[in-house]
């Protein structure tokens, strides 16, 4: 019993001859923000996909609160408290922000709503949906259609949708991608405000964000974790500098 919220043990994923994930083991403690960095093609998105249940590992096990969830599908993992954010595709563009957040709230509540009429359900979801929108800084945007929102606002909306399932672990795949400087800074501040309350596994290219937020950083290269340590240890690691040779790395 490790006390970890999430524990990945020896995850492997191959695509033909290509080894996308090669024996990856890592943990996320309750309340910890563990960042995954690594060059393009290192296997970061494949790792997140295996943790959410989107991609089936060839080898290895995934434990959530010490329970083996390797054979569980995505909906079951969400019910357990694991939530992935930043899938643009999860937004319904023609729905307003409030409805987009109400859907995952209802999904989580599931059949507890079965005796109520749709009108009552909608009314009882509205309050929590508004509250979540307020928490991500979209308090004024509830009635706005997702399709007309700015890119940064849609990312905030996705966080609200991820939080709607009341997760204890958030898996975030490049939440800063495509954000302008101001939007990025706001997202960093927001993620900071979530720290401690959720376990967070954060895949991110923005090194400033990673070093500002992470309790622990693991570096992936060619499908393997090559180093794992505190931000200080990663900053001074020779292996990390070698992997990032030719790329800007002066965090």
Ligand X SMILES: Nc1ncnc2c1ncn2[C@@H]1O[C@H](COP(=O)(O)OP(=O)(O)O)[C@@H](O)[C@H]1O
- Quick one: 125 or 244, whose CB is closer to ligand X? 244
Strand order in the sheet with 6-15: 18-28, 6-15, 59-64, 67-68
Residue 25 or 45 having the CB closest to Mg ion: 45
* Residue 18 or 107 having the CB closest to ligand X: 18
Shortest CB 24 distance to ligand X, Å? 11
Write the DSSP string, 201-244.
EEE-S-HHHHHHH-SEEEEEETTEEEEEE-HHHHHT-HHHHHHT
159 vs 83: CA distance, rounded Å: 10
The residues of the shown chain that bind ligand X, judged by CB under 6 A, are 15, 18, 20, 38, 40-46
| Chain residues that interact with Mg ion, rule: CB under 5 A | 44-45
Between CA 154 and CA 190 the distance in angstroms is 14
Q: How far is the CB of 247 from ligand X (least distance, A)?
A: 13
| Lookup result for tokens 């357990």 | 80
- What's the full length of the chain, in residues? 251
**42 vs 160, beta carbon nearer ligand X:** 42
- Minimal CB distance to Mg ion: which residue? 45
Q: CA-CA distance, 251 to 248, in Å (whole number)?
A: 9
DSSP state of 148: G
* CB of 38 or CB of 104, closer to Mg ion: 38
């Amino acid at each position: 019993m490790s006390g970890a919220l999430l524990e990945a043990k020896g995850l492997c994923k191959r695509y033909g001859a290509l080894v996308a994930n090669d024996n990856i083991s890592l943990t996320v403690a309750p309340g910890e923000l563990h960042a995954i960095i690594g060059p393009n093609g290192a296997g970061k998105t494949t790792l997140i996909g295996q943790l959410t249940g989107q991609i089936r590992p060839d080898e290895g096990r995934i434990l959530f609160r010490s329970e083996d969830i390797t054979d569980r599908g995505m909906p079951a993992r969400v019910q357990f408290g694991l939530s992935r954010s930043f899938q643009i595709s999860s937004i319904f563009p023609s729905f307003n922000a409030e409805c987009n957040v109400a859907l995952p709230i209802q999904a989580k509540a599931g059949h507890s709503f079965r005796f109520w009429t749709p009108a009552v359900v909608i009314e009882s979801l509205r309050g929590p949906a508004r509250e979540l929108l307020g928490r991500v800084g979209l308090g004024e945007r509830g009635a706005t259609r997702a399709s007309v929102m700015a890119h940064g606002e849609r990312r905030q909306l996705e966080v609200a949708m991820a939080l709607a399932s009341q997760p204890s672990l958030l898996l975030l795949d490049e939440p800063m991608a495509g954000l302008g400087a101001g939007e990025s800074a706001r997202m960093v501040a927001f993620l900071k405000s979530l720290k401690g309350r959720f376990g967070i596994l954060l895949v991110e290219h923005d090194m400033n964000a990673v070093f500002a937020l992470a309790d622990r950083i693991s570096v992936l290269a060619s499908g393997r974790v090559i180093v794992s340590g505190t931000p200080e240890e990663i900053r001074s690691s020779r292996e990390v500098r070698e992997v990032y040779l030719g790329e800007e790395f002066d965090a």
